[in-house]
Chains A and B, each alone.
Chain A
Amino acid sequence: MSAALAVSGLAKRYGAVEALRGVDLQVEAGELVGLLGPNGAGKSTLVKIACGLVRPTTGRAEVCGARAGSREARAALGYLAEFFRFPGWTSADELLELHQQLAGSGGGEQERRELLDLVGLSDARSRRVEEMSKGMQQRLGIAQALVGAPRLLLLDEPTSALDPVGRRTVRTLLEELRRRGVSVLLNSHLLSEIELVCDRVVILLAGQVVTAGTPAELASPRGVEIDTDRGTEVHADAGRDDVPQFVEQLVRDGRKVYGVRVRTSTLEEVYVEAVGGETE
């Protein structure tokens, strides 16, 4: 089975600006990949190439085995742009119906109801887009991207306008999509969110992949803290594997051990190290 998204040697030049410089990336079926990087790193360009809005200068991008931008590729994906707008005069239901027609989805009213339920908009079915808050529009955008049950979902900053409850709704939704086997490429600045839901993280800097791996792989040891009867001992250079030896020694010395904390770097620290202090 081909990868949901396979990108190799992808480069994009806008005049003198090199937005992408030979990116290789793979999103497997059912995998949730987080794309990180400072502004101008090429994240949106990469997503736009994948959904056929932008043509690559060189390299190759395939969606479910079809060339990115082809009809087959577009039929297999759902997309929510970072900056999108839906016509204010349409209702949520009408908008989804339009996208059903364009996507060739035969899901009908049941699919529309399910999607609105999924994003917590079941009460706003008849509400016009212009009467919705930005957060509601963003959730409607996610529902729109899910029309026709796409195999690959490309989400460009899908939670930027959401409040904490809305973000949690989206996180639950992403977990549900993973359970259904949908692949997701999530482009977001919210590191905590990516850390919570993504199987793998890719960090782009100046159009190149600088770091990639699972959150566990990317996290590096930051020491071990042990709570004892004489206070907290800190072993700054130790890691998880050193814990049994430390505890054994303390017990042998007649000390009481109340707790052990293995400290690893957060995704934020990994990110800051990877981008070398580049500002957003």
Chain B
Amino acid sequence: MTAALTIAGYGLREALRRKVFVVVCLLTVAFVILYWIGNRYTFRHVADIVPPAGIDAQAFAGAFLFGMAMFGTLFLGTVLAIFLTLGVVRGDAERGLLQPLVVRPVGRGAVLVARFLGAAAVCVPYVLVLYFATMGLTGAEGGWWPDRIVTPGLELAGGVLVVAALSLLGSVFLSSIANGIAIFMIFGGGLVAGLLGNIGHVLNSHGLVHAAKIAAWAMPFEALYQDALREITQNTSGLTGFLLRLGPFGGAEQGGVALRLWVLAYLAIVGALAVAGFARRDL
């Protein structure tokens, strides 16, 4: 474990020295400023809008904007997770960076755990800070707060960890470029699954909804995101609640405890596959 922490710390130092954090922070500040401007103008105009019957305009605007921010948070966290992990095994081996580390009396599994911990140490705080920052902006500008405060943020962070784990697994078998493309496509696949679920709900198609749910659970970062979306409006009822649960980028779906247990099992399976694949890999 000491070796894993050493390598994780080494990865973090690299991110610091390479100015990864500076770039990420600057771009994130730009995103937050844009989001704040969006909130400011939206809530300024909401007061002048006469919404259709059954719609709470303030709640609708707040939840919709924040749902969009959650998608943005998940997306930015995903980008960060992928770029921190896409070349951990094959990419670093091809560049000759991995061999000097792997010949040390450190298990290959420990190297993977270390790189996962390093990615988690960056991505989880990043997602949580961005989540709470955007929530605070929406609350301050529009007076709207989600029904659940903490859990949706943790689920978004969990979703990013799932992406990081998949990217680590991919790095064992694929070159950096191929892995990056593959993981972004999988992320896009999850997004499509959510949109299909939306369509299924609107058309009342149980088959489509079922297929979308299976796809979301197969890519559980999407299922976590959908559960997080549901939680922010879980006490909002009526037409407002129905429309909001369709979500801006993938509809809200209940995941609950079963989903969280599945995510833990999923991470364990992905981790085991990565360790087994890495152990068999010639470098």
Which residues of A does B touch, CB under 8 Å? 14, 48, 51-55, 71-72, 74-75, 77, 79, 81, 83-87, 89, 98-99, 101-104, 141, 144
Contacts and interface: CB of A to CB of B under 8 A. Distances in A.
Contacts of A48: 282-283
Contacts, number: 63
B97 A71 contact: no
Given A98-B6, A101-B6, A75 B103 contact: no
B102 interface: yes
A86 B97 contact: yes
Nearest to A52: B103
B45 interface: no
A187 to B, nearest CB: 14
B19 to A, nearest CB: 10
B38 interface: no
Interface of B: 2-3, 6-7, 10, 13-14, 17-18, 95-97, 99-107, 280, 282-283
A75 B105 contact: yes
A83 B105 contact: no
A72 B14 CA distance: 29
Contacts of A103: 104-105
Given A71-B105, A102-B3, A103-B105, A79 B100 contact: yes
A103 B14 CA distance: 20
B96 A77 contact: no
The 6 closest A-B pairs by CB, nearest first: A102-B104, A89-B17, A75-B105, A85-B96, A53-B283, A54-B282
A68 to B, nearest CB: 11
A232 to B, nearest CB: 52
Contact of A102 (B95, B96, B101, B283): B101
Given A89-B18, A98-B6, A101-B6, A53 B103 contact: yes
Contacts of A89: 13-14, 17-18
B282 A53 contact: yes
Contacts of B282: 14, 48, 53-55
Contacts of B3: 101-102
